[in-house]
Amino acid sequence: RIYLDWNATAPMLPEARDAMIEALSGVHGNASSVHHEGQVARTVIERARRAVATAVGAKAQSVVLTGGATESNNQVLRHHIVEHARPSLVSSAVEHPSVMEVVRELGQKEVPCVVWPVDSRGRLDLAWLRARFVEAAAEDSQLASPTMVSVMWANNEVGNVYPIDEIAALVHEFGALLHVDATQALGRVPVDFEAAGVDLMALSFHKMGGPKGIGAIVAREGLKIEATLAGGHQERGRRPGTENVPAAAGLSGALKALAEQGEAWGEALRKKRAVFLEALAEQSIEYELRGDLENHLPNTLNVAFKGIDGEDLLLALDLEGVSASSGSACTAGSLEPSHVVLAMGFEERDARRSVRFSFGPSTPEEDLVEAAKRVGVLVTRLSGYAAQG
Ligand code: PLP
């Protein structure tokens, strides 16, 4: 089979798998225990913390290990609301549901929340954000001044990469905090927490070859981040619960591979993308690429095929051995069009055309060529059915 759904989850790197197997068979202590076995487990956890810090250009004490980016995003946003006397949030229209849904819920609880719109290519206009701050600062303004802005580093559905350093500078000019979900950026484009001036960041490791169910919050020094759970002192009280030692070992393995091969991965991904695009262009079918192709993840392509419903094509591709995604969420059995593509201004029917292909450094080029050929055959066949009515 040809797996082109790395943005949902990536196959595990051999370095991650080997480290996990070693930990599963040899490290059975609880990292909170003071005895030898406990201390061996503690070493695994602290090594993982240092690996995360090095991978994203932060200090080890800034890193809180969590159960993934959904948890990290929830915790950062909810903590801000508790911590701040008059919280007010801005989040982009293309955030992952683990940001969008928390913001919606907080909005219903009367926390002022606004959505930063995107244009038809999914781009964010910094002038919009500046205007929002300036308007709120006016003497007779009824608007709450934003206290936190939440923007992703890279979008999971259309692949846009956002100018995080410029956004950080603007947010700080007005004394607010910037929270960045860097889940899809890590392992695909360089991520530097301190150089970009980010205050809080959410990470997950299964998108880049680490294990599922482990992530992190990175918090700038001096920023408090309180637990959402109670009942344990782990992670200095910021994430109670016995640490997932095998997953921590796996994430260290994955990040070791990133440190050694990251640059080559970026280059390989750009080449593979060109190969896939060329193979797609050779098919006699009509399609358009969605997103901001100038500021883009090298592993993601969001493609809309003329006259074809994305779900029909995905099902047909699955039967032909190709796994891709529409980025749509399955809600109560009905397939919703992607909120990201809708936010870009497409009508519902048009939004449903989006198909996301995402691949990784180990995806063979021949697989990409073969997948493009199968897409060509299936789109032609489905167009025929559509024309018959
Ligand atoms: N944020 C983004 C941008 C994602 O793509 C995902 C994964 O679907 C998440 C957050 C959630 O991460 P996790 O699976 O670790 O909860």
What would the mean pLDDT of 299-318 be, rounded to a whole number? 96
DSSP label of 304: E
Per-residue model confidence (pLDDT) at position 139: 85
The pLDDT tens digits of the residues spanning 34-43 come to 999 999 999 9
Distances in Å between the Cα of 43 and the Cα atoms of 33, 50, 245, 246 are 12, 11, 10, 12
Q: What is the pTM of this model?
A: 0.96
Partner residues linked to 303 by β-bridges: 289, 355
Burial status of residue 370 (CB atoms within 10 A of its CB: 0-12, 13-18, 19 or more): middle
Q: Would you state the pLDDT for residue 5?
A: 97
pLDDT of res. 386: 72
Of the residues 330, 333, 349, 389, only one is catalytic, namely: 330
pLDDT of residue 140 exceeding 70, the answer is yes
SS3 179: strand
User: What length does the chain have?
Assistant: 389
- Determine which residue's CA is closest to atom 7 belonging to ligand 1: 8
102 CA to middle of ligand 1, Å?
A: 14
Q: What is the atom index within ligand 1 of the atom nearest the CA of 7? A: 5
Task: Tell which phi-psi region holds residue 345, choosing left (phi > 0), alpha (psi between -120 and 50) or beta.
Answer: left
Q: Is 157 in the pocket of ligand 1 (CB under 6 A)?
A: no
Q: At 331, is the pLDDT very low, low, confident or very high (cuts 50, 70, 90)?
A: very low
Coil vs helix vs strand at 32: coil
Q: What angle do CA 370, 314, 281 make, to 5 degrees?
A: 45
User: CA 8 from chain center: how many Å?
Assistant: 9
Check pLDDT > 80 for residue 237.
yes
**Ligand 1 centre and the CA of 280: distance in Å?**
28
Band the pLDDT of 328: cuts 50, 70, 90: low
Domains and CATH numbers, the chain: 2-9+262-388 (3.90.1150.10), 14-257 (3.40.640.10)
- Residue to probe by mutation, ligand 1, list 6, 102, 156, most atoms within 8 Å of CB: 156
DSSP 93-155: TT--HHHHHHHHHHHHTT--EEEE-B-TT--B-HHHHHHHHHHHHSTT--SPPPSEEEEESB-
CB 269, CB 361: distance < 8 Å: yes
Instruction: Specify the range with the lowest mean pLDDT, choosing from 109-118, 331-340, 358-367.
Output: 331-340
Task: Kindly tell me if the per-residue pLDDT of 66 is higher than 50.
Answer: yes
Mean pLDDT of 132-161: 94
Does 183 contact ligand 1 (Cβ within 6 A)? yes
Q: Which residues contact 185 (CB under 8 A, 6 or more apart)?
A: 152, 153, 154, 161, 191, 297
How far apart are alpha carbons 188 and 299 in whole angstroms? 7
- pLDDT > 80? residue 314: yes
The rounded distance, in Å, linking the Cα atoms of 257 and 54 is 13
* Residues whose CB falls within 8 Å of the CB of residue 360, separated by 6 or more in sequence, listed in order: 6, 10, 11, 209, 265, 269, 299
Please tell me if the CB atom of residue 181 comes closer than 6 angstroms to any atom of ligand 1.
yes
113 has catalytic annotation: no
For position 389, what pLDDT does the model report? 63
Going from the Cα of 130 to the center of ligand 1, the distance in angstroms, rounded, reads 28
Q: Give distance in angstroms: CA of 7 to centre of ligand 1.
A: 9
292 in ligand 1 pocket by Cβ < 6 Å?
Answer: no
Nearest atom, ligand 1, residue 8 CA: 8
Is the C-beta atom of 96 inside 6 A of ligand 1? yes
Of the candidate ranges 106-110, 152-156, 206-210, the one whose mean pLDDT is the lowest? 106-110
Sign of CA dihedral 120, 125, 128, 129: positive
Separation of CA 373 and ligand 1 centre (Å): 30
CA distance 161 to 188: 10
